[in-house]
Chains A and B, each alone.
Chain A
């Protein structure tokens, strides 16, 4: 993976840049020392690392505005960073960039349960937002698996989803308003606490823009009443095709499960060894979870089981207690850990039309064999968001490269099946060069035109999202 050469002129001005930033920030908010900057050299895509020029940790929107104004004035690239949990390298620095971390922007600004919203600073973690309204009987719906650590800023940047978005949608469906600092330091308010914002849907544009358009420092989020309860059923099948057909039938039935998770045989075996969740040894497993009152859950599960029975399942395990629910989820939740025990892995998140599941899984297995990598599949089947995990050995030369090549082939396969490169992790640097497989030049041009409007100098989160060759003339323009 290539990154553009750093601007040595900017690097040479590090002392001046640091001095100007220190003048507007609290004493400990500017990080300059090489050993301290190591903490910012990568995100959760740890294969790529690069120390930034500097890192800054502002505490207020006004400080963010001053940082942006200074960086804009000097022409310093800025890489926004939430909690650094991006799997796509969305917060990977360059050597000439200032990392702007929102970790100290952690306040709850307002809770309004009558109008059902919460306003927070975006350094708050996803789970802390739900925790802030829990006592009032509410929660914040998007639940990425990193929710304990990940920041709302990153959730907005990547339009994060989670296991429960089948019912509740992803971040863009739950974001009401933002305070955003523009590339030149202007502070703008977009949307508010109302259900709809005025004018062009800039909120929809900013959500998922991967830090390309501005720094979101405050967010107004929709909160929802917590369901009375939730329980899953575990369904085992002896082929992926049959499991896929069962998923389609459940979706068509009119029932709206909050989650439909799919695991294939390599994942089932790995998680069973790792966690002892009591999964049957079969080709495909589904976890279907429904919500509501006890009676409602019983009714819905009964219908799901009825649908499943038409597909000759090898296992039906309906949870009847919180303990059993936890056991059913145990394997799924430890899937990444289980694969991690077997080696290093790359986690992809291409999305495909639900009807293409069986054929895509077959083709992934073939590709895995061809490249000599084991691939396990665990994913949100209700919305076709795959998570192929490609195992490799980082200590063996060439393994990372071949795993990455296999990953690229799988993502192209997702696009060719009618899907997309990324369902919830984002493009970052990881999938940047694959964008030309999904988009025609004119499609990418339209997206880059949007960035031109928000960030004319292309200083925000450089060398992400758009293929380097495609964005070269804009990035290097004076």
Chain B
């Protein structure tokens, strides 16, 4: 990525130091591990990677409070030691974007990074309970907390999640975590065309079988179930009866996890030329839209709510869309600048968004121009 970097300001060692750096300088490009930034921005790199450490982990309350620069890999290992995990299945974007580095939890939250399990359990933002951040005036602000139900005041936690570092520099997040299921099984339904695949996914998602994954790639529908083995067996019986067609069962994490990891990380597009788009659409719109766009390859995730498209360089996917939205995840800076990384919004929404950015960051110090 050729994000222009004047100089490396380094990584402040504490929230207080970060605050001082922000007060004294800017504009900044905010960085965690540098693995998943997609927007264009100009400025000095301001890294949160030295702000590390677990502030609190209460497995019995499913709560984790952790500093923003803590590595995702460390969090994953810590949770695994207590048979827990982050429910929202964070994508590893390095292969797709051609990045090195180690993902940090701050970057995960700032980009609201969510994988296949989002279809059933929600996005990263749905598991964010609290946040601390430094705003553009160098003030440390907190919002939310560490409890699962909290309607005390305005919810800035959701606002910060997915704000791509345009409102403030996240220094700490509080997350709800999830116990690991007893077992997992992935069903493979082969030889499905797109329309057929969406029909199957919508039908099964519309039944009380608690799917935690529904995706389609390369003519195969993948359906994932997690929980107690006897319950899964019962549900598979019901699913087989509904589908009335050949279904393969892959039991256990060893067989199942690689499938979802590949879908999560969009492995199918790694090392292939072209632009990569991420679409948010209604499943029933998906097949016709994809046909109109005619991409080089496509993956349907979230039951058809999320589409990953590999297109010829410079293709304007949005020109074919009449609803939903599209994010340009991978392209040359020129294409990104021309088409915009994030989907344009109505004038009223842009006005509100600009108003919020101005309040949080009056001098435009953070990721200037990234989201609008």
Contacts from A to B (Cβ < 8 Å): 112-116, 137-138, 158-159, 161, 165, 169-170, 172-173, 182, 186, 188-190, 192-205, 207-209, 212, 225-228, 248-249, 251-256, 291-293, 295-296, 299-300, 303, 351-355, 380, 383-385, 418-427, 431, 435, 438-440, 442-444, 446-447, 449-454, 465
Contact = CB atoms under 8 A, between A and B. Distances in A.
Nearest to A136: B206
12 contacts: A112-B282, A137-B206, A159-B155, A169-B126, A194-B281, A194-B324, A198-B280, A202-B159, A203-B158, A204-B158, A351-B150, A443-B143
B208 A228 contact: yes
Contact of A293 (B147, B231, B345, B371): B231
A199 B345 CA distance: 8
B352 interface: yes
A295 B134 CA distance: 51
Interface stretch (B27-35, B98-106, B116-124): B116-124
Contacts of A440: 142
Contacts of B334: none
Contacts of A197: 280, 325
A248 B286 CA distance: 42
B147 A201 contact: no
Nearest to A159: B151
A453 B356 contact: yes
A176 B359 CA distance: 26
B217 interface: no
B60 A383 contact: no
A199 B349 contact: yes
A228 B166 CA distance: 44
B360 A446 contact: yes
Contacts of A207: 155, 158
B349 A202 contact: yes
Interface string B166-202: 1100000000000111100000000000000000001
Nearest to B237: A293
A163 to B, nearest CB: 11
Nearest to B344: A198
Given A116-B205, A198-B345, 12 more contacts: A114-B283, A115-B284, A169-B126, A194-B281, A195-B118, A196-B305, A202-B352, A205-B159, A293-B231, A296-B234, A355-B58, A383-B147
Given A194-B281, A199-B371, A383-B148, A443 B141 contact: yes
The 7 closest A-B pairs by CB, nearest first: A204-B158, A248-B60, A423-B149, A254-B179, A453-B355, A198-B325, A195-B305
Contacts of B139: 442, 446
Interface string B260-296: 0000000000000000000011111000000000000
A474 to B, nearest CB: 13
Contact of B58 (A158, A212, A253, A353): A353
Contact of A202 (B82, B353, B359): B353
Contact of B356 (A200, A249, A427): A200
Contact of B208 (A112, A194, A225, A443): A225
A351 B149 contact: yes
B162 A201 contact: yes
Interface string B333-372: 0000000001101101100110110011000000000011
Interface of B: 58-63, 82-83, 112, 118-119, 122-123, 125-126, 135, 139-143, 145-159, 161-163, 166-167, 179-182, 202, 205-209, 228, 230-231, 234-235, 280-284, 302, 305-306, 323-325, 327, 342-343, 345-346, 348-349, 352-353, 355-356, 359-360, 371-372
Given A196-B280, A198-B343, A251 B119 contact: no
Contacts of A421: 152
Contacts of B360: 446, 449
B146 A296 contact: no
A296 B179 CA distance: 18
Contacts of A442: 139-141
B205 A204 contact: no
A435 B135 CA distance: 21
Given A194-B282, A199-B345, A296-B228, A248 B151 contact: no
B359 A452 contact: yes
Contacts of B306: 195-196
A132 to B, nearest CB: 16
B152 A199 contact: no
A208 B154 contact: yes
Contacts of B179: 251-256
A173 B122 contact: yes
B60 A252 contact: yes
A450 B154 contact: yes
Contacts of A438: 152-153
B163 A295 contact: no
Nearest to B62: A251
For A204, A227, A254, A444, the residue with the greatest tally of chain B CB atoms inside 10 Å of its CB is A204
B60 A251 contact: yes
A450 B156 contact: yes
A205 B158 contact: yes
Contacts of A352: 147
A422 B159 CA distance: 20
A446 B145 contact: no
Contacts of B343: 198-199
B169 to A, nearest CB: 14
A447 B135 CA distance: 12
Contacts of A189: 346, 349
B148 A384 contact: yes
Contact of B282 (A193, A203, A439, A446): A193
A67 B360 CA distance: 31
Given A116-B205, A201-B125, A353-B61, A188 B147 contact: no
Contacts of A439: 142, 153
Contact of B151 (A208, A299, A435, A446): A208
Contact of A447 (B154, B162, B234): B154
B126 A383 contact: no
Nearest to B166: A200
For B126, B163, B167, B327, the residue with the greatest tally of chain A CB atoms inside 10 Å of its CB is B126
A172 B158 contact: yes
A204 B125 contact: yes
For B61, B156, B342, B348, the residue with the greatest tally of chain A CB atoms inside 10 Å of its CB is B61
Nearest to A195: B305
A376 B179 CA distance: 31
Contacts of A186: 348
Contacts of A205: 154-156, 158-159
Nearest to A431: B152
A228 to B, nearest CB: 6
A362 to B, nearest CB: 18
Contacts of A422: 150-152
A453 B352 contact: yes
Given A254-B182, A355-B61, A200 B371 contact: yes
B306 to A, nearest CB: 7
Contacts of B59: 252
Nearest to B140: A442
A442 B360 CA distance: 12
